[in-house]
A and B are shown apart, each in its own frame.
Chain A
């Protein structure tokens, strides 16, 4: 019934929209494809469900608010790795010689800007007079500021076990056996933007299963939760951001992200890491950026400011956040002390247990960054100090002996970058200082080191290669780093990376890398220091402007404990996952786009048995020119007996939302995404996706268990711009 209503609503809206014809700007297809490839690689690299919103919101913002090619804003393109540092240098050189750009097509004359780059960046740049020196007045802000209000609803339509009715006494006996809230997810966000110089906004979110105003729980449960009882929007955030106000380069209040150097000392948000591949492994610290996403784990909340003059700039920041943690009370001889046994990173507060952990401890960070930048050279120094109001004491295990524990942590680092002609050299060295830690950790003294250094050479326009070495000490601790590496921790790892990007013939491109890594201490589920490697190659070809395809191979070997039940002590052995993917994108006539993907994944178990995964899909998008609506459809089948041979496939989604489901088992999946623009200001999105399994009668386990062989997800979003 619900679906019917949505269909009717959607159709009415579509009819309505016919009268209003809006012209979309240049197609961001190429940019989207670039992001899709990277996001898929990122999904493959991580075992957790990531929140891509935080990472991708900058790209979405960029595609909605193009940067002025004739201003310093264009730096954002290199910071987001849409152009390389070499292309950026050429761009600057061109502007120095010939003055401001008059036409976008002039970009074709800039050295090193190939068709691929142009297709990606043309839709996200514009030409204006440089207005960065203009005075900002309230009058102008009111008149030219752009507002955007976004509301989203999403839900899994099938009943999940966590929402099944239960009586109080059973729930009290097993407090984490139900979600307390309803299965709907809501998000509301508002943003204001004045010429990319002043930005402000707020974000409200309630995840599925979290209690909303309409949800009720019994008094006993309320009493049990005590202060932790919480209804309504679970995440509330706001941000205020300004840049280029004279000596104040950037300033932020509320939620923000920090990114400096190569991310080894301080990089609070997500980054593409290895998924970026090629020359983009050289990171570009973006300094302070506003955070409008609803991602609940890694960000700063407080105030930050960057002041600058001439080649110098300095940043100061302070953050104060309540984070989720599991608190236990330890009995010591003299008194009861509170201890934190783990930090929760999911941001979910659906069950009694999760609510009890909600915002349990206070994490404060204070720090700064000093930078000196001249024509080709940049050097920076970063320092920050983190402290918790309750000491962290992890449940002792061999692998976490060097993890951060205790009450406070100090990090310092120096980063540098030199880009000239055919060479780019970059690196960062960092230290961590922690006085209270495990005995093993303390035996080595409070200080630990980490460092990375890399070189990119571009012998010719069509070729560049990158070598990078990293050595992160096993005792190096940092709660806010996100440098290049295997896995998510910049700790106890040594590795060397070699990457190549080449265009050996017209319309042919090759991207390849090899990464070899050692873990110098045990890791989770690996009972000894271990090693592994990761090989990747992608060959892409453009048949014409209307069709391009790529073929990709990846082979990744890592060590993990043997699952052999007959061994007394589990020792690590090598596991390899290989995958091959073919992808083709093409335009059908003027209004249709098509895409096919075929992927094969192979995983070998330690008993010698093999697991295979297959995925095939057909995408059709109907995007009529000069029409305010579009439709996207996918039909896919998959066959992967086991999770190890799972396949990740990016799916198109409503604005500011991203899905890369991991498919395994056997079945089919389809989705339909519709978009319609009304009155030029209001855009509606609706998406329905369904996975139907042919090999099982129930999906998931525990709280997410669904009885039946299908799972349907629905999302509806409205975006109002004014």
Chain B
């Protein structure tokens, strides 16, 4: 309870409270690596940088749950589905943050295409729904996300992602609350076959400052990954484990915030195909 009060105080101390959390790195792998994910590939790229799913080979379905600050009221639920086709990868996504009293929802339709080894481009159209309990009502907005990745060298991958680049907002709310623009770019560097480092910078226009993120992943035993990471704003350390086999992977992680305590995440991906 104390934690919830502290959280509410923190949230209320900022002037607008909407849609901060909905654009937040998703997936057990990203969560374990300090959130750094803009230059990563795979199904969850759909949420983090759609360009990263351009080279997806299998039909995939993913589920993700984050028990943030160990409070059900601030839980984060997420689902994603991706279908690789000859013309690129198609994706569907759903995110929800909050509880019945207050929740933020995002529905997305994504498409990513690969233009040779050097360039992947992704686009996601979003429908956002904000529900505030006690008769405050329901608000919606439409926007889109753009992403870009490039395998510049064998080891270096760069990624850029922009959520809401033309600054749409919730028009009907009392204060015409703005949707943020979220702009991130960063890199992944494959130091060795089994060791990856990632880092990125993110600016959310509705928040003070920028967020720097970094993470490391090491394949300790075949198919078993250990991960750690950090982000600066808010300051969070994270750790995680992942296990992957051909048709499924499971990733778990824990994040530690100095004042708000721990959060736990679990993500699963099932895939079928070649």
Contacts and interface: CB of A to CB of B under 8 A. Distances in A.
Interface of A: 543-544, 546-547, 582, 584, 586-589, 592, 594, 596, 598, 600, 612, 614, 616, 618, 620, 635, 637, 639, 666, 668, 692, 694
B118 A589 contact: yes
B153 A547 contact: yes
Contacts of B209: 612, 614
Contacts of A588: 118-119, 150, 152
A584 B153 CA distance: 14
A594 B201 contact: no
B185 A547 contact: no
A637 B119 contact: no
B115 interface: yes
Contacts of A618: 148, 160, 162, 183, 185
16 contacts: A543-B153, A546-B153, A547-B153, A547-B156, A586-B158, A588-B118, A588-B150, A589-B116, A589-B117, A589-B118, A594-B160, A612-B208, A612-B209, A616-B210, A618-B162, A668-B205
A635 B167 contact: no
Given A544-B152, A600-B210, A668 B181 contact: yes
B186 to A, nearest CB: 9
* Most chain A beta-carbon contacts within 10 A, residue among B115, B118, B181: B118
User: Top 3 closest A-B pairs, CB basis?
Assistant: A589-B118, A547-B152, A544-B153
Interface string B78-110: 000000000000000000000000000000000
A709 to B, nearest CB: 10
B261 interface: no
B133 interface: no
A584 B203 contact: no
A635 B185 contact: no
B205 A666 contact: yes
B178 interface: yes
Contacts of A639: 203, 205
Contacts of A587: 118, 152
A582 B205 contact: no
Interface of B: 115-119, 148, 150, 152-153, 155-156, 158, 160, 162, 165, 167, 178, 181, 183, 185, 187, 201, 203, 205, 208-210
B205 A543 contact: no
Contacts of A600: 210
Given A600-B210, A612-B209, A586 B165 contact: no
B202 to A, nearest CB: 9
Contacts of B178: 694
A584 B167 contact: no
B205 to A, nearest CB: 6
A639 B118 CA distance: 31
Contacts of B158: 547, 584, 586, 594, 596
Contact of A586 (B150, B162, B205): B150
A694 B118 contact: no
A543 B155 CA distance: 9
A694 B162 contact: no
Contacts of B185: 596, 598, 616, 618
A506 to B, nearest CB: 15
Contact of A614 (B115, B148, B156, B210): B210
B203 A589 contact: no
Nearest to B178: A694
Nearest to B119: A588
A587 B158 CA distance: 11
B210 A692 contact: no
A589 B153 contact: no
Contacts of B152: 543-544, 546-547, 586-588
Contact of A543 (B118, B156, B210): B156
Contacts of A546: 152-153
A596 B167 contact: no
B167 A668 contact: yes
- The listed residue with most A CB atoms (<10 A of its CB), out of B116, B119, B167, B205, is B205
A609 to B, nearest CB: 14
Contact of B201 (A612, A616, A620): A616
A604 to B, nearest CB: 16
A672 B178 CA distance: 26
Given A612-B208, A616-B201, 7 more contacts: A543-B156, A546-B152, A589-B119, A596-B185, A614-B203, A635-B183, A639-B205
A639 B150 CA distance: 27
Contact of B205 (A584, A594, A596, A694): A694
Contact of A635 (B119, B153, B155, B165): B165
Given A582-B201, A589-B115, A612-B209, A637 B153 contact: no
A341 B201 CA distance: 51
B181 A637 contact: yes
- Tell me which of B117, B162, B178 has the highest count of chain A C-beta atoms within 10 A of its own C-beta: B162
Nearest to A692: B167
Contacts of B153: 543-544, 546-547
B213 to A, nearest CB: 13
Contacts of B162: 618, 635
Given A547-B153, A694-B167, A592 B119 contact: yes
A598 B201 contact: yes
A397 to B, nearest CB: 40
Contacts of A616: 183, 185, 201, 203, 210
B228 to A, nearest CB: 22
Contacts of B183: 616, 618, 635, 637
A588 B156 CA distance: 12
Nearest to B155: A543
Given A543-B152, A594-B150, A618-B160, A637 B203 contact: yes
Nearest to B150: A588
